[in-house]
Protein backbone atom coordinates (compact mmCIF):
# COMPACT_ATOMS: atom_id res chain seq x y z
CA UNK A 1 0.00 0.00 0.00
CA UNK A 2 2.80 2.44 0.94
CA UNK A 3 4.66 1.64 -2.29
CA UNK A 4 1.50 2.30 -4.32
CA UNK A 5 0.94 5.60 -2.50
CA UNK A 6 4.49 6.90 -3.03
CA UNK A 7 4.47 5.71 -6.65
CA UNK A 8 1.31 7.73 -7.36
CA UNK A 9 2.72 10.68 -5.41
CA UNK A 10 5.85 10.65 -7.59
CA UNK A 11 3.74 10.52 -10.77
CA UNK A 12 1.68 13.47 -9.51
CA UNK A 13 4.87 15.40 -8.71
CA UNK A 14 6.33 14.80 -12.19
CA UNK A 15 3.10 15.81 -13.91
CA UNK A 16 2.88 19.01 -11.85
CA UNK A 17 6.55 19.88 -11.47
CA UNK A 18 6.02 23.55 -12.37
CA UNK A 19 3.31 23.89 -9.73
CA UNK A 20 5.65 22.57 -7.03
CA UNK A 21 8.50 24.77 -8.29
CA UNK A 22 6.20 27.80 -8.13
CA UNK A 23 5.11 26.81 -4.63
CA UNK A 24 8.67 26.59 -3.31
CA UNK A 25 9.67 29.83 -5.05
CA UNK A 26 6.69 31.59 -3.45
CA UNK A 27 7.50 30.00 -0.09
CA UNK A 28 11.10 31.26 -0.16
CA UNK A 29 9.99 34.82 -0.90
CA UNK A 30 7.48 34.63 1.95
CA UNK A 31 10.42 34.43 4.36
CA UNK A 32 11.85 37.60 2.81
CA UNK A 33 8.53 39.47 2.69
CA UNK A 34 6.37 38.41 5.66
CA UNK A 35 2.67 38.00 4.95
CA UNK A 36 0.61 41.16 5.31
CA UNK A 37 -2.42 42.85 3.77
CA UNK A 38 -0.53 43.67 0.57
CA UNK A 39 -0.54 39.96 -0.30
CA UNK A 40 -4.23 40.32 -1.17
CA UNK A 41 -3.30 42.75 -3.94
CA UNK A 42 -1.07 40.17 -5.64
CA UNK A 43 -3.91 38.07 -6.99
CA UNK A 44 -5.56 38.90 -10.30
CA UNK A 45 -8.99 37.48 -9.55
CA UNK A 46 -10.22 38.30 -13.04
CA UNK A 47 -7.43 36.22 -14.64
CA UNK A 48 -8.01 33.31 -12.28
CA UNK A 49 -11.77 33.46 -12.84
CA UNK A 50 -11.42 33.56 -16.63
CA UNK A 51 -8.96 30.69 -16.51
CA UNK A 52 -11.27 28.55 -14.37
CA UNK A 53 -14.34 29.32 -16.48
CA UNK A 54 -12.60 28.54 -19.78
CA UNK A 55 -11.16 25.31 -18.38
CA UNK A 56 -14.66 24.25 -17.34
CA UNK A 57 -16.14 24.94 -20.77
CA UNK A 58 -13.23 23.36 -22.67
CA UNK A 59 -13.54 20.17 -20.59
CA UNK A 60 -17.28 20.08 -21.29
CA UNK A 61 -16.66 20.55 -25.03
CA UNK A 62 -14.13 17.73 -24.95
CA UNK A 63 -16.70 15.40 -23.44
CA UNK A 64 -19.12 15.92 -26.34
CA UNK A 65 -16.23 15.39 -28.81
CA UNK A 66 -16.44 18.94 -30.13
CA UNK A 67 -12.69 19.19 -30.71
CA UNK A 68 -12.51 15.73 -32.25
CA UNK A 69 -15.14 16.66 -34.86
CA UNK A 70 -13.44 20.00 -35.56
CA UNK A 71 -10.09 18.21 -35.89
CA UNK A 72 -11.58 15.79 -38.44
CA UNK A 73 -12.85 18.76 -40.44
CA UNK A 74 -9.40 20.37 -40.53
CA UNK A 75 -7.78 17.11 -41.65
CA UNK A 76 -10.41 16.55 -44.36
CA UNK A 77 -9.80 20.04 -45.78
CA UNK A 78 -5.99 20.29 -45.66
CA UNK A 79 -5.00 16.58 -45.84
CA UNK A 80 -1.28 16.85 -45.00
CA UNK A 81 0.73 17.36 -41.82
CA UNK A 82 2.50 20.56 -42.89
CA UNK A 83 -0.69 22.45 -43.76
CA UNK A 84 -2.73 21.11 -40.84
CA UNK A 85 -0.12 22.15 -38.27
CA UNK A 86 0.36 25.51 -39.97
CA UNK A 87 -3.41 26.10 -39.81
CA UNK A 88 -3.51 25.10 -36.12
CA UNK A 89 -0.72 27.56 -35.34
CA UNK A 90 -2.35 30.34 -37.37
CA UNK A 91 -5.69 29.76 -35.64
CA UNK A 92 -3.96 30.11 -32.27
CA UNK A 93 -2.09 33.19 -33.50
CA UNK A 94 -5.27 34.94 -34.66
CA UNK A 95 -7.21 33.74 -31.62
CA UNK A 96 -4.70 35.36 -29.26
CA UNK A 97 -5.32 38.72 -30.94
CA UNK A 98 -9.04 38.43 -30.26
CA UNK A 99 -9.50 36.48 -27.03
CA UNK A 100 -6.09 36.86 -25.27
CA UNK A 101 -3.16 34.44 -25.33
CA UNK A 102 -4.12 32.22 -22.40
CA UNK A 103 -7.67 31.61 -23.63
CA UNK A 104 -6.43 31.00 -27.18
CA UNK A 105 -4.20 28.22 -25.84
CA UNK A 106 -6.94 26.75 -23.67
CA UNK A 107 -9.19 26.67 -26.72
CA UNK A 108 -6.85 25.49 -29.48
CA UNK A 109 -4.32 23.22 -27.75
CA UNK A 110 -7.00 20.51 -27.35
CA UNK A 111 -7.76 20.93 -31.04
CA UNK A 112 -4.09 20.39 -31.89
CA UNK A 113 -4.02 17.28 -29.71
CA UNK A 114 -7.07 15.76 -31.38
CA UNK A 115 -5.75 16.46 -34.90
CA UNK A 116 -2.46 14.70 -34.13
CA UNK A 117 -3.94 11.85 -32.11
CA UNK A 118 -6.70 11.03 -34.58
CA UNK A 119 -4.16 10.85 -37.44
CA UNK A 120 -1.45 8.94 -35.57
CA UNK A 121 1.00 11.87 -35.67
CA UNK A 122 1.58 12.29 -31.92
CA UNK A 123 5.35 12.59 -32.58
CA UNK A 124 4.69 16.12 -33.87
CA UNK A 125 2.89 17.12 -30.68
CA UNK A 126 5.85 18.81 -28.95
CA UNK A 127 6.65 20.93 -32.00
CA UNK A 128 2.99 21.80 -32.60
CA UNK A 129 2.36 22.78 -28.99
CA UNK A 130 5.55 24.86 -28.88
CA UNK A 131 4.60 26.71 -32.07
CA UNK A 132 1.05 27.24 -30.78
CA UNK A 133 2.52 28.60 -27.56
CA UNK A 134 4.84 31.02 -29.37
CA UNK A 135 1.98 32.04 -31.68
CA UNK A 136 -0.26 32.78 -28.69
CA UNK A 137 2.37 34.87 -26.91
CA UNK A 138 3.44 36.82 -29.99
CA UNK A 139 0.12 37.04 -31.81
CA UNK A 140 -1.48 38.77 -28.86
CA UNK A 141 1.07 41.56 -28.82
CA UNK A 142 -0.54 43.52 -31.67
CA UNK A 143 -3.72 44.42 -29.79
CA UNK A 144 -4.17 46.11 -26.38
CA UNK A 145 -6.26 43.17 -25.13
CA UNK A 146 -4.18 40.38 -26.70
CA UNK A 147 -1.89 39.95 -23.68
CA UNK A 148 -2.51 40.84 -20.02
CA UNK A 149 0.58 43.08 -19.86
CA UNK A 150 -0.73 45.01 -22.87
CA UNK A 151 -3.95 45.88 -21.09
CA UNK A 152 -1.98 47.11 -18.10
CA UNK A 153 0.49 49.29 -20.04
CA UNK A 154 -2.18 50.54 -22.46
CA UNK A 155 -4.20 51.77 -19.50
CA UNK A 156 -1.34 53.03 -17.32
CA UNK A 157 0.29 55.20 -19.99
CA UNK A 158 -2.95 56.06 -21.84
CA UNK A 159 -1.40 54.94 -25.12
CA UNK A 160 -3.48 55.87 -28.21
CA UNK A 161 -4.71 52.70 -29.96
CA UNK A 162 -3.12 53.47 -33.34
CA UNK A 163 0.20 54.37 -31.69
CA UNK A 164 0.06 51.13 -29.70
CA UNK A 165 -0.42 49.07 -32.86
CA UNK A 166 2.27 50.97 -34.76
CA UNK A 167 4.77 50.26 -31.95
CA UNK A 168 4.01 46.53 -32.09
CA UNK A 169 3.67 46.16 -35.88
CA UNK A 170 7.35 45.36 -36.66
CA UNK A 171 7.82 42.61 -34.02
CA UNK A 172 4.39 41.26 -34.99
CA UNK A 173 5.34 40.93 -38.68
CA UNK A 174 8.70 39.37 -37.81
CA UNK A 175 6.92 36.87 -35.56
CA UNK A 176 4.51 35.90 -38.37
CA UNK A 177 7.42 35.31 -40.73
CA UNK A 178 9.41 33.22 -38.22
CA UNK A 179 6.45 31.07 -37.21
CA UNK A 180 5.54 30.39 -40.84
CA UNK A 181 9.15 29.55 -41.72
CA UNK A 182 9.44 27.09 -38.81
CA UNK A 183 6.24 25.25 -39.70
CA UNK A 184 7.21 24.99 -43.36
CA UNK A 185 10.78 23.92 -42.59
CA UNK A 186 10.30 21.38 -39.79
CA UNK A 187 7.12 19.54 -40.81
CA UNK A 188 7.00 17.39 -43.97
CA UNK A 189 4.00 17.47 -46.30
CA UNK A 190 3.09 13.87 -45.52
CA UNK A 191 -0.55 12.84 -46.00
CA UNK A 192 -2.93 12.58 -43.07
CA UNK A 193 -5.75 10.11 -42.72
CA UNK A 194 -8.45 9.86 -40.12
CA UNK A 195 -10.69 6.87 -39.54
CA UNK A 196 -14.27 7.40 -40.55
CA UNK A 197 -16.44 7.45 -37.45
CA UNK A 198 -19.87 8.97 -37.38
CA UNK A 199 -20.08 11.28 -34.39
CA UNK A 200 -22.85 13.81 -33.91
CA UNK A 201 -22.79 16.74 -31.54
CA UNK A 202 -25.68 17.07 -29.07
CA UNK A 203 -27.16 20.31 -30.39
CA UNK A 204 -28.58 21.63 -27.13
CA UNK A 205 -25.40 21.11 -25.12
CA UNK A 206 -23.21 22.44 -27.91
CA UNK A 207 -25.19 25.68 -28.10
CA UNK A 208 -25.13 26.12 -24.31
CA UNK A 209 -21.39 25.45 -24.06
CA UNK A 210 -20.59 27.89 -26.86
CA UNK A 211 -22.72 30.54 -25.14
CA UNK A 212 -20.82 29.87 -21.89
CA UNK A 213 -17.55 30.23 -23.77
CA UNK A 214 -18.75 33.55 -25.20
CA UNK A 215 -19.48 34.69 -21.65
CA UNK A 216 -15.87 33.88 -20.73
CA UNK A 217 -14.67 36.06 -23.60
CA UNK A 218 -16.98 38.89 -22.55
CA UNK A 219 -15.34 38.81 -19.12
CA UNK A 220 -12.00 39.55 -20.79
CA UNK A 221 -13.50 42.52 -22.61
CA UNK A 222 -15.09 43.71 -19.37
CA UNK A 223 -18.53 43.31 -20.89
CA UNK A 224 -19.51 41.12 -17.95
CA UNK A 225 -18.10 41.31 -14.40
CA UNK A 226 -15.91 38.28 -13.73
CA UNK A 227 -17.95 37.28 -10.68
CA UNK A 228 -21.08 36.93 -12.83
CA UNK A 229 -19.31 34.44 -15.10
CA UNK A 230 -17.91 32.68 -12.06
CA UNK A 231 -21.46 32.09 -10.86
CA UNK A 232 -23.13 31.21 -14.14
CA UNK A 233 -20.57 28.92 -15.81
CA UNK A 234 -19.69 26.44 -13.02
CA UNK A 235 -23.35 26.13 -12.02
CA UNK A 236 -24.43 25.45 -15.61
CA UNK A 237 -21.64 22.90 -16.09
CA UNK A 238 -22.55 21.27 -12.75
CA UNK A 239 -26.03 20.44 -14.02
CA UNK A 240 -24.99 19.57 -17.59
CA UNK A 241 -21.73 17.67 -17.05
CA UNK A 242 -20.35 17.29 -13.54
CA UNK A 243 -17.49 15.19 -14.87
CA UNK A 244 -16.15 18.30 -16.64
CA UNK A 245 -15.75 20.08 -13.30
CA UNK A 246 -13.64 17.17 -12.04
CA UNK A 247 -11.50 17.30 -15.20
CA UNK A 248 -10.46 20.95 -14.68
CA UNK A 249 -6.69 21.38 -14.32
CA UNK A 250 -6.70 22.65 -10.74
CA UNK A 251 -2.89 22.32 -10.38
CA UNK A 252 -2.59 24.88 -13.20
CA UNK A 253 -4.80 27.31 -11.26
CA UNK A 254 -2.62 26.80 -8.18
CA UNK A 255 0.49 27.39 -10.29
CA UNK A 256 -0.86 30.83 -11.21
CA UNK A 257 -1.65 31.55 -7.55
CA UNK A 258 1.88 30.66 -6.45
CA UNK A 259 3.44 32.75 -9.24
CA UNK A 260 1.32 35.73 -8.21
CA UNK A 261 2.78 35.44 -4.71
CA UNK A 262 6.33 34.99 -6.02
CA UNK A 263 6.22 37.94 -8.44
CA UNK A 264 4.42 40.16 -5.95
CA UNK A 265 7.07 39.55 -3.32
CA UNK A 266 9.92 40.01 -5.81
CA UNK A 267 8.55 43.44 -6.69
CA UNK A 268 8.75 44.44 -3.01
CA UNK A 269 12.40 43.49 -2.51
CA UNK A 270 14.43 46.73 -2.49
CA UNK A 271 17.52 45.17 -4.07
CA UNK A 272 15.44 43.85 -6.96
CA UNK A 273 13.75 47.20 -7.50
CA UNK A 274 17.06 49.10 -7.38
CA UNK A 275 18.67 46.67 -9.81
CA UNK A 276 15.85 46.98 -12.32
CA UNK A 277 15.86 50.76 -12.05
CA UNK A 278 19.57 50.90 -12.90
CA UNK A 279 19.30 48.44 -15.77
CA UNK A 280 16.37 50.25 -17.37
CA UNK A 281 18.43 53.38 -17.69
CA UNK A 282 20.86 51.48 -19.92
CA UNK A 283 18.43 49.72 -22.30
CA UNK A 284 14.71 49.50 -21.52
CA UNK A 285 13.85 47.04 -24.30
CA UNK A 286 16.61 44.50 -23.62
CA UNK A 287 16.36 44.54 -19.85
CA UNK A 288 12.57 44.38 -19.79
CA UNK A 289 12.75 41.32 -22.06
CA UNK A 290 15.46 39.85 -19.79
CA UNK A 291 13.44 40.43 -16.61
CA UNK A 292 10.56 38.41 -18.09
CA UNK A 293 12.80 35.34 -18.07
CA UNK A 294 12.89 35.38 -14.27
CA UNK A 295 9.62 36.89 -13.04
CA UNK A 296 7.35 36.55 -16.12
CA UNK A 297 6.11 39.24 -18.48
CA UNK A 298 3.03 40.48 -16.61
CA UNK A 299 4.85 41.08 -13.28
CA UNK A 300 7.75 42.62 -15.25
CA UNK A 301 5.39 45.08 -16.95
CA UNK A 302 3.87 46.06 -13.61
CA UNK A 303 7.21 46.35 -11.83
CA UNK A 304 9.25 48.11 -14.53
CA UNK A 305 6.54 50.61 -15.42
CA UNK A 306 7.27 52.24 -12.05
CA UNK A 307 10.79 53.18 -13.20
CA UNK A 308 10.51 54.36 -16.80
CA UNK A 309 8.39 56.55 -19.06
CA UNK A 310 9.76 54.85 -22.17
CA UNK A 311 6.58 52.86 -22.70
CA UNK A 312 7.34 52.03 -26.34
CA UNK A 313 10.48 50.01 -25.55
CA UNK A 314 8.93 48.60 -22.39
CA UNK A 315 5.90 47.44 -24.37
CA UNK A 316 8.03 45.69 -26.99
CA UNK A 317 10.34 44.23 -24.34
CA UNK A 318 7.68 42.60 -22.18
CA UNK A 319 5.94 41.19 -25.26
CA UNK A 320 8.92 39.60 -27.01
CA UNK A 321 10.13 38.65 -23.53
CA UNK A 322 7.21 36.23 -23.35
CA UNK A 323 9.43 33.87 -25.34
CA UNK A 324 12.47 32.33 -23.64
CA UNK A 325 12.13 30.43 -20.38
CA UNK A 326 9.11 28.43 -19.33
CA UNK A 327 8.12 31.11 -16.81
CA UNK A 328 8.65 34.05 -19.17
CA UNK A 329 4.93 33.95 -19.84
CA UNK A 330 2.37 32.34 -17.58
CA UNK A 331 0.54 31.28 -20.76
CA UNK A 332 3.49 28.93 -21.40
CA UNK A 333 2.55 27.04 -18.26
CA UNK A 334 -0.79 26.21 -19.86
CA UNK A 335 1.00 24.64 -22.82
CA UNK A 336 3.47 22.79 -20.61
CA UNK A 337 0.68 21.45 -18.42
CA UNK A 338 -1.36 20.30 -21.42
CA UNK A 339 1.62 18.58 -23.05
CA UNK A 340 2.81 16.76 -19.92
CA UNK A 341 -0.74 15.62 -19.20
CA UNK A 342 -0.72 13.72 -22.48
CA UNK A 343 3.01 12.85 -22.36
CA UNK A 344 4.00 12.50 -18.67
CA UNK A 345 7.29 10.76 -19.49
CA UNK A 346 8.59 13.42 -21.89
CA UNK A 347 8.95 16.45 -19.65
CA UNK A 348 12.69 16.87 -20.23
CA UNK A 349 12.34 16.34 -23.98
CA UNK A 350 9.67 19.05 -24.17
CA UNK A 351 11.61 21.58 -22.07
CA UNK A 352 14.75 21.22 -24.21
CA UNK A 353 12.87 21.74 -27.49
CA UNK A 354 10.78 24.52 -25.96
CA UNK A 355 13.92 26.35 -24.84
CA UNK A 356 15.70 26.02 -28.20
CA UNK A 357 12.80 27.45 -30.23
CA UNK A 358 11.80 30.11 -27.71
CA UNK A 359 15.30 31.51 -27.19
CA UNK A 360 15.86 31.54 -30.94
CA UNK A 361 12.71 33.64 -31.36
CA UNK A 362 13.70 35.90 -28.46
CA UNK A 363 17.20 36.57 -29.80
CA UNK A 364 16.02 37.28 -33.37
CA UNK A 365 13.18 39.55 -32.22
CA UNK A 366 15.45 41.41 -29.80
CA UNK A 367 18.07 42.05 -32.51
CA UNK A 368 15.54 43.20 -35.12
CA UNK A 369 13.58 45.49 -32.77
CA UNK A 370 16.76 46.96 -31.30
CA UNK A 371 18.13 47.85 -34.74
CA UNK A 372 14.93 49.24 -36.21
Q: What is the pLDDT of residues 243-302, one digit of tens each?
A: 989 888 788 788 778 877 887 888 788 887 787 778 788 899 999 999 899 878 877 887
- Its pTM stands at 0.76
In a domain, 32, yes or no: no
DSSP state string for 196-224:
-------HHHHHHHHHHHHHHHHHHTTSS
Residue 198 lies in a domain: yes
Chain-wide mean pLDDT for the chain? 85
CA-wise closest residue to 335 among 316, 359, 358, 362? 358
How confident is the model over 32-57, as pLDDT tens digits?
999 998 888 888 787 788 778 888 88
Domain containing 130: what range? Answer: 39-371
How many angstroms separate the CA atoms of 156 and 150, rounded?
Answer: 10
Residue 22 maps to a domain: no
d(CA 116, CA 125): 7
pLDDT in tens, 81-111: 899 899 889 988 887 876 667 778 877 888 8
Cα(337)–Cα(333) distance, integer angstroms: 6
Is 12 within the bounds of a domain? no
Does residue 15 lie in a domain region? no
* Domain contains 213: yes
Does residue 17 lie within any of the structural domains? no
User: How many domains, the chain?
Assistant: 1
The verdict on residue 52 lying in a domain is yes
Q: What pLDDT does residue 276 have?
A: 72
DSSP 320: H
Amino acid sequence: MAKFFFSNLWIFFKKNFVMFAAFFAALVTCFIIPMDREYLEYFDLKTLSCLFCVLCVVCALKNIKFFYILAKKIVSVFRNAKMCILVLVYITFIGSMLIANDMALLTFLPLGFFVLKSTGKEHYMAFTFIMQNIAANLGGMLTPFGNPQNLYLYSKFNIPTLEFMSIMLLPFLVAVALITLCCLAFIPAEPLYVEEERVELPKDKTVVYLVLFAISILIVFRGIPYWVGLLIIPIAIFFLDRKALCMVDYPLLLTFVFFFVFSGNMARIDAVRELFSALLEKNTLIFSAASCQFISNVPSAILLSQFTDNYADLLVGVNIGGTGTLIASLASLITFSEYTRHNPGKTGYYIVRFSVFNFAFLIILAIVTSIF
